[in-house]
Structure 1
């Protein structure tokens, strides 16, 4: 991708996040992690899947993402076999045995089971409409269509938060390549963390790192920056969206 293309892509990602009001940025009220990790059959640019991932981020819940792009052969048939139809998102909670469709029902379930019972002030149709607008900005590189080749022996891990304009292209690529991964939601756990990094450094240079995965990332990599990819299959760990995309293309595309 040329430098100009990357600049255009970043701006489209900023627009996509803005259209959703930057939902999926904060995790101000984290909840305890369930004993067994949740599983989500997901398509990255699906507007309904986005609503579920935003909630998972805001609840600070890690989740195993099983990408099901159009034409996918790894997890899409599995989802159909388990749920009975090719509809996404599909959430599996091994802690309760729940297997469910419908983003509105899944969001309510997550809030009821793991959260604080709170929902967005917008009606569900308005949430869906704004999510569809956000998806429209990413139509050219959305992760909707499968194009993977190599399947990894172990799941990758991605430190990310849903609205991050730099993390989204990586999630899109993981989706298109049908690469299962553990999504380490790294939402911002206090208001001082909100906004661009250079503003935080300028106004709150001594603010401590707060948040479960933000602390874990600092300990692991020496700084808090997303996206951060961990590939246990090769021992690779890396920052920078462009570098991660090149790595995924070289090893799995």
Structure 2
């Protein structure tokens, strides 16, 4: 698979965290704030867009597990073997005070069920119906690209603002020992540091989580950094504490098949169910497009119309044609489909 990105010479990236304009062009095989020294489908994305991202849609051929059938979605249920995972992933909510759960300008109002037209998504709890809305900033035309990994607190901060701003992002996972995307960050930016963002809409590329957050809120938000992302060291500490229960999940590479096309995930940062799926996507180094669906996101209605139901996470795999809800089963599917057998070379 080959992709094209614009990037400057390494010297052009200094000093950071000022935004950097991408200028030179290279073609590379897609194999791409903690600095490290070592080291048929219903897809929503068109083939042309995938080619721009560096995905060719060519071999290898990937098939779902034999006799695989996506499960029926079940509301507010946890598979018994995932109870501990969901509990520990939920610890992030009090530490981060729900940052990443609500889209920018979120508001909610109680309405009569008769006010909701058929086929329109609304939150329903205990017989009550609520209409959720948000006030979003300008929308990028092209997918923003972010290189990161799940267990990094600096990366978490950037994922939170992605959910708040309701952005669609292609994530290139960079777990430790990952052979594909982690080395590309060094090539593009001159150092192996995460997160690293490329915005093809403006030609800007940059390191430094706080700088990325400032850039995104100014370009695609209302110019104001949310409180829980503006507290400096306290923000970083609480982002780190939020991950204590997960004990490094989503940080170490598991040998896997690199898919011809990016997977697509409807999710948001504040959800513990979404988090345990994201951990596996990162460990398997599976590039994926994330459609942010925090509370108030208009994409909740899009998914509701698309799948006849809203629930996050929701996975679409254009490589196999599988579309499915249910976090525990998504994890099983990803491992069964993409993990390399121990006797097969990566």
Q: TM class, shorter-chain normalised? A: 0.7 to 0.9
Distance 1:157 1:84 in 2: 29
Residue 31 (structure 1) shift: 2.6
Q: Do residues 71 (structure 1) and 157 (structure 2) align?
A: no
Residue 16 (structure 1) shift: 2.0
Distance 1:239 1:117 in 2: 34
Contact 2:89 2:243 (8 Å CA) reproduced = no
Identify, as 1 or 2, the structure richer in strand.
2
Normalised to the residue count of structure 2, the TM-score between the two structures is 0.65
Q: Do residues 224 (structure 1) and 310 (structure 2) align?
A: yes
Distance 1:25 1:179 in 2: 24
Q: Do residues 16 (structure 1) and 122 (structure 2) align?
A: no
CA deviations 1:24-83 (Å, max 9, x no partner) are: 011123233211110000101210001011101101111000000000011001111001
Q: Do residues 127 (structure 1) and 235 (structure 2) align?
A: yes
Aligned to 1:45: 151
Distance 1:178 1:77 in 2: 13
Distance 1:151 1:105 in 2: 30
Normalised to the residue count of structure 1, the TM-score between the two structures is 0.88
Contact 1:44 1:175 (8 Å CA) reproduced = yes
Q: Secondary structure at the match of 2:171?
A: strand
Residue 186 (structure 1) shift: 0.3
Moved more, 40-49 or 114-123: 114-123
Aligned to 2:336: 250
Distance 1:37 1:6 in 2: 32
Residue 4 (structure 1) shift: 5.2
Aligned to 2:300: 214
Q: Secondary structure at the match of 2:194?
A: coil
Distance 1:55 1:159 in 2: 16
Aligned to 1:202: none
Q: Secondary structure at the match of 1:248?
A: helix
1:81 paired residue among 183, 187, 194: 187
Aligned to 2:141: 35
Over the residues paired in the alignment, what is the CA RMSD in angstroms? 1.4
Contact 1:16 1:138 (8 Å CA) reproduced = no
Aligned to 1:236: 322
Contact 1:88 1:102 (8 Å CA) reproduced = yes
Distance 1:88 1:14 in 2: 24
Distance 1:186 1:120 in 2: 18
Q: Do residues 179 (structure 1) and 265 (structure 2) align?
A: no
Identify, as 1 or 2, the structure richer in helix.
1
Contact 1:158 1:183 (8 Å CA) reproduced = yes
Contact 1:90 1:100 (8 Å CA) reproduced = yes
Contact 1:42 1:88 (8 Å CA) reproduced = yes
Structure 2 gap segments, 5+ residues each: 1-78, 107-134, 340-346
